[in-house]
Chain A
Amino acid sequence: MEFEEIQEIWDLQKKQSMYTVNERELHNLILTKKKQAGKLVNLTELMQIIVNTGAGAFIFQKNYFSLKGNFFLYLLAAWMLATAIYILVGRLRRIKRGKRFDESTRGSLEHAIADATHKVRISQLMRWNIITIALLIVLGMVEGGQSIWIIAGMVIFLGLAFYGSGFEHRCYVSRKRELLSLYAKLEQGQPASI
């Protein structure tokens, strides 16, 4: 078969419609999605900002009003608040960067890769952040004279959190790898001079 014949087969569709659209259902769907729009967007980032700010502020005020201030707990509160600010700045940068990409397939893929890179970086940083937080918590507990068993329990809990966060990080890495592979396919055959 020549390509022109394949083209003729394709053009057969012009003579008849494949589907009919149930416009009422479509309209209802759009109304539902309109209400939902934006609700789930950026939930992870917002949660991280809220949790870090809330926990940081709570630890600070608890420590401030206690009879004997704990240096490591002050450090922990400051660290958590700094983490929240870091995520907030990263989020604002990401939103600003999102406006830079065009609507083509390549632009859309580049946008998705930039978002995936951001998630990989944040999940990696948050993972290592658990170690810093764990260290400050343990030092704070030692300074506060907590029993060795409570400290050991806390270490095990934080160790599990560190291990679990590895799964999340690997998910983002794998998603980014998929996007890069798709991008490489799009770029395949690109002349070297361009």
Chain B
Amino acid sequence: MQPLGRRRMSFGDVLRTATVGARTRPMRVVLSALGVSIGIAAMVGVLGLSESSKSDLLAALDRLGTNLVTVQAGQGIGLGSGELPNEAAGMVARIGPVERTAAVSQVDASVYRTDFVPPAQTGGITVQAVGIDLLDVLAGDISDGAWFNTATAQYPTTVLGSVAAERLGVGEVTGIQQVWLGDQWFTVIGVLETFELAPDLDRAALIGAPAAETYLDNDGAPSRILVRVQPAFVDDVIDVMAATVNPENPEEVEVDRPSDALEAREAADDALTALFLGLGAVALIVGGVGIANVMVISVLERRAEIGLRRALGATRRQVATQFLVESLLLAAAGGLTGVLLGAGVTYGYAWWRRWEPLIPASAIAGGVAVALAIGVIAGVYPAMRAARLSPTEALRSA
């Protein structure tokens, strides 16, 4: 008599038996996989969006540089007049690692669309006198028209920040358009792109420093100095900046590095990312519990099938494998759908924000791995329950 040898099922047969539930109750499969797919989609989407936003920010930092330092006079009680000493810009330029400087002087004037606008309706737009180096130092761009040159900086001309232009109703620079600035007409010669490193200048009408002196009696005392420093010495320069600008009262000087603000924004984004990842994890756990629940119900409902399979010669291990693989397939289907969904959301949002879409491979691999792990965890108990079922009891329950 031959010994009864072991009979292994082929991979195809394992898959075939594991999809019996899906074939007989497709809607239940879709709904139970949905929980996992939402969780995975949330995680992949959050990681994708965070990476895309980070890469966009890094590109911006690359473009704008992290070596810009701004110096301004402190304002408020005990913090001085809001102006820096007249010689400040010259003194800053003499610090060794400083590459370029540009001074901005607050002008005591307002700007209006026409001379009929009541004086109180300033629209929150300030007037700033600037040197012609400013655009270069800020790595800014003109969206329409032209920036100051040595000639236009002496005449009543203005370049508007992006928000200021919108508020003054300047859509297109025609060269003949004028605004009512400090009780006289100034010709708009250009409109700026948004300044990422000095967003307050977006709400300003800029005029040349010589013109400010000539037409508006501005004394030229800088309210702010923008400084480009050799990147390796930024911290050293920041250390000596206040004392250089105002040796008498260094405490009245505020020194900032605007790129720090962008990096801080990134840190805030990271905190939000962690929060959303947490929410995604909760959705995943709920999805996993949903799959476990469906599998337990499935084992109860399919007792007759389990009995039949044992009668047809299935071992306990083969029955357990059937239900475990079924749970794994459910979670994998949810996981893959989730990855696609998350990637879709990332691409869609990145396209809308004009970012370079970027989904870390680890998010995709991690998403699928987490889904599979959930499938296994959710499937173990129902599979063991199915395997433990006595064939006679299972057949009797039919």
Tell me, yes or no, whether A binds B: no
User: Which residue numbers of B lie inside 8 Å of A, CB to CB?
Assistant: none
